[in-house]
């Protein structure tokens, strides 16, 4: 993650007070062991979605506490989705992981009704039911934006590698 982004959320006292218990938990830290998109870990992805969802909620009037906490927990599915189907025979990660993340988040942290709704609906419109609140829309939008940026960074690196691998003079 960019150092400037880390400095910004660590320096945001209200944000950190709201999410500190999640940050400090071993189960959240374990998200560092899984890649989400490109070279971005699930932990960094969840932090970025949480912080952008929190900022959007502050700007547009949603419950920023729910956005910050549910954003951190929205992908708490705790497996490597790149190999999951091959190892378990369970396909459709895109459709099923919100429920898995919800169950894990409920078990480890307990969830408010809104936090639960945000996690369960964050894949909308891939899943049919949209979030019920402004904070839910903020996290859903933040997830799409962060996923696109993370994937685009990987494509950019791949294109650069292809060009840099060309022998000189060609």
The contact set with Fe ion (CB under 5 A) reads: 75, 143
Q: How far apart are CA 32 and CA 35, in angstroms?
A: 8
The one-character DSSP state at 124 is: T
- At closest approach, how far in Å is the CB of 42 from Fe ion? 8
- At closest approach, how far in Å is the CB of 102 from Fe ion? 11
Closest to Fe ion by CB, 44 or 75:
75
Closest to Fe ion by CB, 39 or 159:
39
- At closest approach, how far in Å is the CB of 146 from Fe ion? 7
Of 67, 77, 73, nearest to 25 by C-alpha is 73
Q: How far apart are CA 120 and CA 74, in angstroms?
A: 8
Are the beta carbons of 115 and 73 closer than 8 angstroms?
Answer: yes
Closest to Fe ion by CB, 95 or 163:
95
């Amino acid at each position: 993650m960019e150092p400037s982004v880390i400095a910004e959320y660590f320096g945001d006292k209200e944000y950190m007070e709201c999410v500190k218990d999640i940050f400090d938990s071993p189960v959240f830290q374990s998200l560092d062991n899984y890649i989400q998109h490109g070279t971005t870990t699930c932990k960094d992805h969840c932090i970025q979605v949480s912080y952008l969802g929190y900022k959007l909620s502050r700007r547009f009037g949603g419950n920023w506490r729910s956005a910050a906490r549910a954003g951190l927990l929205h992908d708490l599915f705790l497996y490597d989705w790149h190999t999951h189907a091959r190892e378990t025979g369970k396909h459709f990660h895109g459709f099923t992981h919100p429920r898995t993340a919800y169950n894990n988040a409920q078990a480890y942290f307990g969830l408010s009704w809104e936090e639960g709704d945000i996690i369960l609906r964050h894949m909308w419109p891939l899943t049919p039911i949209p979030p019920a609140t402004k904070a839910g829309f903020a996290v859903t939008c933040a997830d799409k934006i962060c996923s696109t940026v993370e994937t685009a960074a990987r494509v950019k690196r791949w294109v650069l590698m292809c060009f840099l691998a060309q022998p000189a003079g060609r």
